[in-house]
Amino acid sequence: NLKMILELARKYPCPVGYSGHETGLQTTLAAVVLGACLIERHITLDRSMWGSDQSASVEPHGFARLVRDIRTVERALGDGVKTVYDEEKKIINKLRRHC
């Protein structure tokens, strides 16, 4: 129930985290999109090793991919301020409808 991240952020004035025990990385990325700023994932050298958390753990290459993808998502989320860059202005003026 990832929407609980939104509820916790609304209710409590503190950072909200996410502790993932699922396979794959998508759910963790979705948690970041919803506002989780602390992430906990188990890491392993080999998911086929014996252990209760191995199958849901992230191998080093997967962890590197997770960090890369989180940083990409953070950049894509931006700061909420619309900025029109100089290179966009010519196109905007050309294509904008004039009333």
Domain boundaries, the chain: 4-95
Q: How would you class 33 by CB atoms within 10 Å of its CB: exposed for 0-12, middle for 13-18, buried for 19 or more?
A: middle
Measured CA to CA, the distance from residue 93 to residue 83 in angstroms comes to 15
4-95 in CATH: which number? 3.20.20.70
In this prediction, residue 99 carries a pLDDT of 58
Burial 38-68 (b: 16+ CB within 10 A, else e): ebebbebeeeeeeeeeeeebbeeebbeebee
Condensed to tens digits (0 to 9), the pLDDT of residues 67-80 reads 999 999 999 999 99
Reported pTM = 0.79
Condensed to tens digits (0 to 9), the pLDDT of residues 22-31 reads 989 999 999 9
